Amino acid sequence: EPEVTQTPSHQVTQMGQEVILRCVPISNHLYFYWYRQILGQKVEFLVSFYNNEISEKSEIFDDQFSVERPDGSNFTLKIRSTKLEDSAMYFCASSFNRENEQYFGPGTRLTVT
């Protein structure tokens, strides 16, 4: 069964450093998403991406964040200068269309020290 994959599973970085989180969405899906979940809190939407551009972003997704689909399979989230409060689980998801179910990857645990 096709699944969303994410790498790395755990990333530790120092405050102020740049990180790139990687995702491979399900191959025939057209919509891609990033969510995050701070420990003990709800899953929060960050950004959605369709047709090689951002279709929607949340207030959390400020200028420190960017997304890219560098090739036909990968989808990345970059945080330019990490802050302590960026520590969270980051989930990538994909769906075939906007109304359909979103399937989540296993997540990347980001720890900023």
Partner 1 sequence: QKEVEQNSGPLSVPEGAIASLNCTYSDRGSQSFFWYRQYSGKSPELIMSIYSNGDKEDGRFTAQLNKASQYVSLLIRDSQPSDSATYLCAVNSGTYKYIFGTGTRLKVLA
What lies within 8 Å, CB to CB, of 25 at 6+ separation is 4, 32, 73, 75, 92, 93, 94
What are the angstrom distances between the C-alpha of 42 and each of 14, 17, 37, 90, 110? 25, 26, 6, 12, 16
Inter-residue contact 26 to 86 (CB < 8 Å): no
Kindly tell me which of 62 and 99 has the beta carbon lying closer to partner 1: 99
Kindly tell me which of 15 and 43 has the beta carbon lying closer to partner 1: 43
CB of 40 to partner 1, least distance (A): 10
**Which residues form the interface with partner 1 (CB under 8 A)?**
31, 33, 35, 41-45, 48, 50, 55-56, 58, 89, 91, 98-107
Kindly tell me which of 15 and 54 has the beta carbon lying closer to partner 1: 54
CB of 82 to partner 1, least distance (A): 21
